[in-house]
Homo-oligomer: A and B are copies of this chain.
């Protein structure tokens, strides 16, 4: 009987840890996600620690066991919940048999899909714009870690195209940035909740792709 008193030991599902320890190990993640959602819904200042706690299923005090303070929590949310759109190496390997034009297309499709599906990216963009002034460090960290790789990768595709004689890089600077811009426009439109004005995605991407190709395709006269 004594043994039965205790809840049966759960199958060590995800980790080897005891339930208590496991629960503890998950706390920070739970809290980060809860915080993210609250920050998304209300913005930094309007978000109350207590609401984050409630959403995470803990209480105020617990938040402070894992995070110094609200500011720290916010920064951690941005840092830890940002997800790279691509893993460049993997992307190139996965699509190594594709033509450069196809790579551009897949790149764009992936990018837009990421933005559509992945709440995080979009909302973190909002955070950065809204609160960036007060958190300059995470802004540039985010830029380095997530935006720059995006641009670099597009650059690589362009270069590959040049190398293969299908693309033409006629400008010295900023070309990738300019060519990808429409995706940012789309993201901002979404952020502004301009639902009415939101373009139909498929058509939008087609046009975007066409714009890119017309711009860089090497004329083969």
- Whole-angstrom distance between the alpha carbons of A150 and B105 in the complex? 29
Say which size band chain A's interface belongs to.
Answer: 35 or more
Q: Using an 8 Å CB-CB cutoff, how does the interface string of A159-185 with B read, 1 for contact, 0 for none?
A: 000000000001111110111111011
With A177-B199, A207-B175 known as contacts, the answer to whether A192 contacts B43 (CB < 8 A) is no
Which residues on the B side are within 8 Å of A126 (C-beta)?
129-130
Quote the shortest CB–CB distance from A98 to chain B (angstroms). 23
- Whole-angstrom distance between the alpha carbons of A105 and B131 in the complex? 34
- In the complex, whether A204 has a CB less than 8 A from a CB of chain B is yes
Which residues on the B side are within 8 Å of A133 (C-beta)?
41-43, 193
With A129-B129, A133-B43 known as contacts, the answer to whether A143 contacts B207 (CB < 8 A) is no
Q: Let me know if A193 and B129 touch, CB within 8 A.
A: no
Q: Let me know if B211 and A178 touch, CB within 8 A.
A: yes
Q: Using an 8 Å CB-CB cutoff, how does the interface string of A176-210 with B read, 1 for contact, 0 for none?
A: 01111110110010011110110110011011101
Which residues on the B side are within 8 Å of A182 (C-beta)?
177-178, 181
- In the complex, whether A132 has a CB less than 8 A from a CB of chain B is yes
6 pairs from A and B in contact (CB 8 Å cutoff)? A45-B46, A129-B191, A133-B193, A179-B211, A184-B184, A188-B188
